[in-house]
Amino acid sequence: MKSFKLFLVVIAISIFMSIGAISVSAVSRENLTADISALNFTASKTSTVELRNKVAKNWTFEQQGYLEQNCLGWALGIVAWCWPWDESASFDEVDENLSISYNCVGYSTMSCDIYAYGDNNEIVHFARGINDGPTAKPPIDAKWGSYEIFLHSTTDPYYTVAESGFAQAYGRLVRAYIEK
């Protein structure tokens, strides 16, 4: 089963690379904490507490990430900047791109592998389900764009733009995906 999952990840990476969505070679999540200089990746930016509080209702710093990785790369388990869409993506666009390896279960707070966030049929952020879903503490972690990786104590931890007044707010949980 692991070789099949690896095959699906390789196929997904190939598709993302062919459409220009990945700009960096893939590295497994297990290597994320390895020496950054040895991997030739750049340490992610460091956010301020003020920024963190504008983005999320709950957060705990987990670890430094890589500048070359974003939220979708983290959720997929690769060190890459994966974003094959414009600034935001419609539900249908995301469902289509993730359908190779994941089934969309619509809006769900149950235990899932990837959670998607946004507003008004647009997805702007992803998080990775960890441990045993929403009853686990914490249930998700996420790479915040070019910033660090954070743990969240709920599956719906982010503010909307209307709530925070912050233009880069991630919005509400709108979709969830389970690995095939």
Model pLDDT for residues 146-179, shown as the tens digit of each residue: 999 999 998 999 999 999 888 888 999 999 999 9
Rounded to an integer, what distance in angstroms lies between the CA atom of residue 58 and that of residue 71? 17
Model pLDDT for residues 37-58, shown as the tens digit of each residue: 456 789 999 999 999 999 999 9
Rounded to an integer, what distance in angstroms lies between the CA atom of residue 2 and that of residue 131? 18
* 3-state secondary structure (DSSP) of residue 33: coil
Is the CB of residue 82 less than 8 Å from the CB of residue 76? yes
Model pLDDT for residues 64-90, shown as the tens digit of each residue: 999 999 999 999 999 999 999 888 899
Amino acid at 138: P
- The closest of 73, 67, 69 to 9, measured between CA atoms, is 73
pTM of the model: 0.78
In this model, does residue 10 exceed pLDDT 60? no
H or E element in which residue 142 lies = strand 140-143
Rounded to an integer, what distance in angstroms lies between the CA atom of residue 69 and that of residue 103? 23
pLDDT of residue 133: 56
| Cis, peptide link before residue 138, omega less than 30° from 0 | yes
- The closest of 119, 120, 136, 123 to 177, measured between CA atoms, is 123
What spatial distance separates the first Cα and last Cα of the chain, rounded to whole Å? Answer: 11
**Span 100-105, mean pLDDT?**
92
